[in-house]
């Protein structure tokens, strides 16, 4: 009775699976609780980084160790030479990167494409232009008399709602449809 029960409970393909695993050199499944082995990373990791990226990482590591940003920049790029544009540009790039703190989304507006986003940003830039006159505090004498309101009065007169005639609105809707 024990022998037929073992034959029923055994997988008939178990020998075939064992042969396949032996032939194919199948690696055993990793234990999920163990640490990630080095086989999961590229063997070239860190070897072929761009030189500028390496310099940025070195500056960031020095700053993380508690160094002053200017000192960290000068230890990697050398002393700042005010007569060299590239030296000043490197310092500005380092300080700007630290100021942004990685929050820039990397969006570059291409104005020549005439996209909605480019048009919107152009309009915003025009509206946000600050002139020296905008920075000045307006004095009461500088505002023309006709634009000044006497103290204690409201700047614009409000019409009462009782006098509004809705017939013009109805005629407009009948003629042109919904606006």
SS3 track for the chain: CHHHHHHHHCCCCHHHHHHHHHHHCCCCCCCCCCCCCHHHCCCCCCCCCCHHHHHHHHHHHHHHCCCCHHHHHHHHHCCCCCCCHHHHHHHHHHHHHHHHCCCCCCCCCCHHHCCHHHHHHHHHHHHCCCCHHHHCCCCCCCCCHHHCCCCCCCCCCCCCHHHCCCHHHHHHHHHHCCC
Q: Sign of the C-alpha dihedral, residues 71, 72, 76, 80? A: negative
Q: What is the mean pLDDT of residues 96-114?
A: 73
Give residue 122's pLDDT.
Answer: 86
* In a domain? residue 107: no
Number of domains, the chain: 2
Both 27 and 56 in one domain: the answer is no
* In a domain? residue 178: no
* In a domain? residue 70: yes
* In a domain? residue 123: no
* In a domain? residue 63: yes
> Which position has the token pair 């640490």?
35
Selected residue with higher pLDDT from 137 and 61: 61
Both 56 and 96 in one domain: the answer is yes
Both 55 and 85 in one domain: the answer is yes
Both 57 and 90 in one domain: the answer is yes
For residue 72, count other CB atoms closer than 10 A to its CB: 21
Out of 78, 100, 122, a domain closes at 100
Both 20 and 60 in one domain: the answer is no
Give residue 14's pLDDT.
Answer: 83
* In a domain? residue 96: yes
Side-chain-side CA neighbours of residue 123 (13 Å)? 7
Is 110 within 8 Å of 118 (Cβ atoms)?
Answer: yes
Out of 84, 100, 116, a domain closes at 100
**Considering the entire predicted model, what is its pTM?**
0.35
Alpha carbon distance 93, 70 (integer Å): 12
Q: Does residue 45 have a pLDDT over 60? A: yes
Is 150 within 8 Å of 142 (Cβ atoms)?
Answer: no
For residue range 140-165, list pLDDT tens digits in order: 656 666 666 666 555 555 555 567 77
Residue 21: domain span = 2-31
For residue range 111-137, list pLDDT tens digits in order: 888 888 888 888 888 887 777 777 776
Confidence of residue 103 (pLDDT cuts 50, 70, 90): low
* In a domain? residue 92: yes
Rg of the chain over Cα atoms, rounded to whole angstroms, equals 37
* In a domain? residue 93: yes
**% of residues, the chain, pLDDT over 70:** 68
Give residue 117's pLDDT.
Answer: 85
């Amino acid at each position: 009775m024990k022998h037929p029960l073992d034959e029923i409970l055994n997988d008939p393909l178990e020998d075939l699976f064992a042969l396949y695993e032996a032939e194919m050199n199948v690696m055993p499944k990793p234990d999920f609780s163990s640490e990630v082995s080095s086989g999961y990373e590229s063997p070239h990791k860190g070897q072929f980084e761009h030189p500028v990226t390496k310099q940025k990482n070195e500056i960031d590591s020095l700053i993380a160790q508690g160094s002053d940003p200017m000192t960290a920049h000068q230890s990697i790029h050398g002393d700042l030479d005010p007569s060299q544009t590239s030296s000043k540009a490197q310092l500005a790039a380092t300080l700007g990167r630290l100021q942004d703190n990685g929050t820039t989304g990397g969006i570059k507006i291409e104005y020549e494409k005439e996209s909605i986003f480019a048009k919107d940003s152009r309009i915003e830039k025009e509206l946000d232009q600050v002139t020296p006159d905008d920075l000045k505090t307006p004095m009461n004498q500088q505002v023309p008399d006709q634009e000044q309101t006497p103290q204690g009065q409201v700047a614009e007169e409000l019409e009462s709602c009782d006098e509004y005639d809705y017939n013009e609105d109805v005629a407009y809707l009948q003629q042109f449809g919904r606006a």
